[in-house]
A and B are shown apart, each in its own frame.
Chain A
Amino acid sequence: MTSLLAKYAAKLAATGLIAPGDVLMAALDDELISALLLARPSGVYQAVMAELARQALADGSASITPGDCETRTFLHDLPVVDGLSAEGVVQALRQRKGCVILHKGEALVASFGTVSPEQAYVTMSSMCFACFVAYFAEHLRRARLGTLTPERRAAFSRVTALLPLDRGEIDGMPDLLPGPFESEDAAREAMIQAGRHTVEYGLVDSYFGNISYRLGDTILISQTGSSLDELGPCIDPCRLDGSSCAGITASSEYSAHKAVYEAEMAGAGARAILHGHPRFSVILSLDCERLDCPNLGECHRACDTPRAVVDDSCGLSVPIVPGEVGTGPFGLCNTLPPALNATTGGKRGAIVYGHGLFTLGAADFRDAFASLMDVEHFCRAEYFRRVAELGG
């Protein structure tokens, strides 16, 4: 148990969510709560969480309700506690998996797990992602509505100054294994490598995202709830003919991956899919000019407006589609495959509203990773261009 606590504390620091040492994790074998986490987010995460928490307490809701897909599905909303007190935190954790504590102007995060410290880590990581997306999306929406105040603009400047640099700009593309891969071992090695780099480049939180490779009539795909930077044994081989259910532990997006490959086998023939949650790609997917749209509030499943991220300078055109996690009637398994299969050129990808970016690779993960990186790079620049254009 102790090693698990140390592992997840280290992962929080490695991903930049906290400064080293700014987390307290505990697990008790004879008590009711299996693992408890209290952490001080750092940098931009500290800034956005503190701001959102202040807003939530000021408007009386005492709750942050981000619009991204993961929060809607798994966390629902984030309670906010005014001041660090055991009573307040316990009350909040009786309601939800984690909470934000505004203590002396500073944001803290508390979360817990009943099965493993990993749950507390995942919740903390997801909350940081959700608040980041919520803050920047809200700022752009306010800019569109013309409701930004001078104070808000000043705060936004302070927040953006804390943004980490784009890892892709610093280091360029990682050196990924060239394909096509003809053996399962080679494909697994490439998946493990690409998954690890996707996390290291900040293109997905460790726990989320998924990755797959088609090897003949088998799809190798990351397991549900696996960490992209720890894929080792967490890859399921799934036969396309459905003759085995051994893939019951495969990613919840297996249906979407399978549909994409089946169409690709009769078309362009892509063999790799990489799915991350790059932040500004997600934020831009939430931005819409139609402020009076009748589907407002239902965009994640009812948007019927063709939308895309387009960069004419390099021929980039990435469609944005609605869709929820998995296979329900509004599942992205219905919307993503046709959008992704319809893309052409060297950078093939599609963004699922409020969720993340799926990219294709012809023979390996080099194209897919480059697309993930380039789209996010463009979206980040495009976000600030739009904010500036709107006077934000």
Chain B
Amino acid sequence: MIGPDMFGWTGKILRVDLGTGAQDVLRLPEAVYHDYLGGKGLGGYLLRDCASLSTDDPALPLVLAVGPLTATIAPTSGRCHLTTRSPLTGAVADSSAGGRLGTELARAGWDAVMIVGRAERPIGIEIDDASVRLVDASALAGRDTAEIFTLLRERRKGGSIATTGPAADTGCLFASLIVDTHHAAGRCGLGRVAGQKNLKYLAVRGTGRRKVADLAGLKAAREDILRLTAASPVLLGQHGFSCFGTGSIFDLMDSRRMMPTDNFQRTRFPGAEKLNANAYKQRYQPHRHGCQGCHVLCKKIAADGRSMPEFETMSHFTALIGNTDLELVMRAGDLCNRLGLDTISAGATLACFREISGETLGGERVLELLTGMGTGMGPGAELAQGSAKYAASMGRPELSMSVKGLELPAYDPRGAYGLALAYATSARGGCHLRAYPISHEILRKPVATDRFSFSGKARIIKIAEDANAVVDSLIACKFLFFAASLEEYSRAYSAVTGVSATAQDLLLIGERIDYQERLMNAQNGFRAKDDDLPQRFFAEEGTSGPGLPIPPIPREDFLAARAAYYRIRGLTPDGLPTRETAKRLGLPWPQELESA
């Protein structure tokens, strides 16, 4: 067990049973922390024995975990990672949340909060250092998140608050958790799991400090990381995230002809140049805002207080649904935040509805449908199950642009083949962040790779998945890895914890964390057939331009790359884990797979 003299971790995990009101402190062997780090790794560890529980089973845990770097001076370490099973996909669900949540939780002395059970009425969990209270939140049910933040802030100054909106209460399968007004644990329907537990909000204030083994070493690692970010045009350049937010990538997606348009029927949206980050900046005069512990400050807040849309929201609420009105994007994004909806799934589900129905979506109609998704009433309520279930119910399953049921973000895979493979192999479904090949296929970091080739991509994707599993477990922000690498962060980890580890050591941990998720997915029936893209990408061209053809993805090449990925990952040709690899990584073989 971790004692009070340990660095980086406290060894304390808060377990709250909302059904009984019981609270207790879990203490895990020190080796668990060394093997899984924290964040995503620890969340998976705490979930895995319950991974096959139904998502409406009260015993299914919702885990919020920080990492050994959280609340230290390691850059961008103030995030929190949430893990459970997705009601949208049935696969492992996890999401990284910014704001102050991670920092406050770490300062309060907790490595994680594990929430089980179902309360009889809406409940808030309020944590002030070691003190934990369950608070009746009935008065907040049905209110939008902006109202909830206002009400809670009247009596809780400082600290961090994460809350669900009406979408979580009314059964939307892609309901999110909103953190500190402007941030979200958006994907996979984590908010819905909270809703099923009648957990309305979590408020945390911490006053402690994390112990660091080697402060000088940590400062040196921090200097190296900051120097690299300063040299990154994507992060701190004049066109980069710090100046324009993640929307700065919008123009690049337009020029590379990989902007998903009309439900991924096309890859270029006429007029996109008038909908770019600069257009928003001119119109809404945003100011910089960031997560605790970050110097990039990629979050932007409009002068009127609304959150500026992230890149995916900008793209999905314009090109994907045929809208050219910036203000509608602002209103739609704001409405999603208030209702507690994942903007990627919401936008992509609207686009799916639009293609199936043939309906032209005007501004008010978009808002009406989003309201239906988030309240479960009126038009749009049928879309709250996500695009896959909606399209299937309409007899057009092929028009859900999703992988494993999770809607795709705003990068068309016909323009980047590594991304195509990464979408398919992502354990949580259609996600660009698990391997983030945009980094080398588009942004040229660490070096450029040929975006129209699968050559070498299987290995690259596997290593990147492992690396990003580490990033989500330490914790740090993936954006920083456009500049820095595990080479620098391994030094920060060693300095904080006193545990000697190289980048390669961390990659092995990342491999374990990733494989742990694949074991859980296998228990829930996921196979190679689920590691695939919608047929559209193999059959239809994108929008080609002069000297820039965007053909369909070569199916045979994709399958060959996926087969290579399975070999490298240690999976069977059907994408299933093997006992041999599980044993090598020190992972127990799940009971549910005994017959396999």
Contacts and interface: CB of A to CB of B under 8 A. Distances in A.
Contacts of A115: 440, 446-447, 449, 456, 460
Contact of B278 (A28, A30, A76, A245): A245
A231 to B, nearest CB: 13
Interface stretch (A46-54, A128-136, A157-165, A249-257): A249-257
Interface string A17-31: 000000000011111
Contacts of A113: 446-447
B278 A254 contact: no
Interface string B500-521: 0011110100000000000000
Contacts of A255: 237-238
A225 to B, nearest CB: 5
A95 interface: yes
| Residue with the greatest number of chain B CB neighbours at <10 A, chosen from A74, A116, A226, A244 | A244
A246 interface: yes
Given A29-B456, A94-B502, A328 B230 contact: yes
Contacts of B445: 224-225
Interface stretch (B170-178, B195-203, B244-252, B394-402): B244-252
Nearest to B488: A76
Contacts of B276: 243-245
Interface in B347-385: none
A205 interface: no
Given A248-B239, A248-B251, A254-B237, A327 B456 contact: no
B460 A326 contact: no
B463 A114 contact: yes
Given A29-B564, A242-B278, A245-B276, A324 B227 contact: yes
Nearest to B227: A73
A323 B316 CA distance: 40
A225 B449 CA distance: 11
Nearest to B547: A233
A30 B565 CA distance: 8
Interface string A229-264: 000000000100011111111111011001000000
A122 B447 CA distance: 9
Contacts of A317: none
A364 to B, nearest CB: 25
Interface in B222-256: 224, 226-234, 236-240, 244, 247-252, 254-255
Contacts of B504: 94
Contacts of A223: 444
A29 B462 CA distance: 11
Contact of B252 (A30, A97, A248, A326): A248
A225 B228 CA distance: 13
Interface in A8-61: 27-32, 34
A331 B505 CA distance: 33
Given A30-B564, A73-B228, A119 B446 contact: yes
A97 B228 CA distance: 15
A293 interface: no
For the complex, would chain B's binding face be called helix, strand, loop or mixed by DSSP majority?
A: helix
A41 to B, nearest CB: 21
Interface string A251-284: 1101100100000000000000000000000000
A354 B565 CA distance: 43
Contact of A238 (B230, B239, B444, B456): B239
Given A72-B227, A113-B447, A255-B237, A34 B459 contact: yes
Q: Which of A34, A245, A246 has the most CB of B within 10 A?
A: A245
Interface string A320-344: 0000111110110000000000000
A374 interface: no
Given A94-B504, A96-B487, A248 B234 contact: yes
B236 to A, nearest CB: 5
Interface in B498-554: 502-505, 507
A245 B250 CA distance: 8
Given A29-B456, A73-B228, A97 B487 contact: yes
Contact of A94 (B231, B249, B456, B505): B505
A346 B234 CA distance: 35
A95 B485 CA distance: 12
Contact of A248 (B249, B447, B463, B507): B249
Contact of A245 (B230, B248, B505, B568): B248
Contacts of B153: none
A118 interface: yes
Contacts of A30: 459, 564, 567-568
A94 B252 CA distance: 34
Given A244-B276, A249-B443, A258-B238, A29 B458 contact: yes
Contacts, number: 154
A381 to B, nearest CB: 32
Contacts of B239: 238, 242, 244-248, 250, 254
Contacts of A330: 230
B237 to A, nearest CB: 6
B297 to A, nearest CB: 13
Contacts of B230: 324-328, 330-331
Contacts of A74: 228, 231
Contacts of B254: 246
Contacts of B231: 73-74, 252, 324-326
A263 B505 CA distance: 49
A93 to B, nearest CB: 8
A248 B237 contact: yes
Contact of B443 (A242, A248, A324): A248
Contacts of A302: none
B440 A327 contact: no
Contact of B456 (A1, A95, A244, A324): A1
B585 to A, nearest CB: 14
Interface in B281-317: none
Contacts of A258: 238
Interface in A91-123: 94-97, 113-116, 118-119, 122
Given A32-B463, A74-B228, A225 B456 contact: no
Interface string B440-466: 101111111100000110111001000
Contacts of B251: 244-246, 248
Contact of A325 (B227, B278, B449, B456): B227
B277 interface: yes
B360 to A, nearest CB: 29
A225 B448 CA distance: 8
A51 B543 CA distance: 57
A251 B238 CA distance: 11
Nearest to A27: B456
B557 interface: no
Contacts of B327: none
B273 interface: yes
A32 B443 CA distance: 23
A265 B236 CA distance: 25
Interface string A64-90: 000000001110100000000000000
B584 to A, nearest CB: 13
B385 to A, nearest CB: 36
A269 to B, nearest CB: 22
A125 to B, nearest CB: 12
B252 A245 contact: yes
Nearest to A246: B251
A246 B277 CA distance: 10
Nearest to A72: B227
9 contacts: A32-B463, A76-B224, A95-B487, A97-B487, A113-B447, A119-B446, A245-B277, A246-B251, A328-B227
9 nearest A-B pairs in the assembled complex, by CB-CB distance: A328-B230, A325-B231, A94-B502, A326-B231, A245-B239, A245-B248, A246-B251, A326-B230, A248-B239
Interface of A: 1, 27-32, 34, 72-74, 76, 94-97, 113-116, 118-119, 122, 223-226, 238, 242-252, 254-255, 258, 324-328, 330-331
Given A249-B233, A325-B230, A326-B237, 4 more contacts: A94-B504, A246-B255, A249-B234, A250-B237
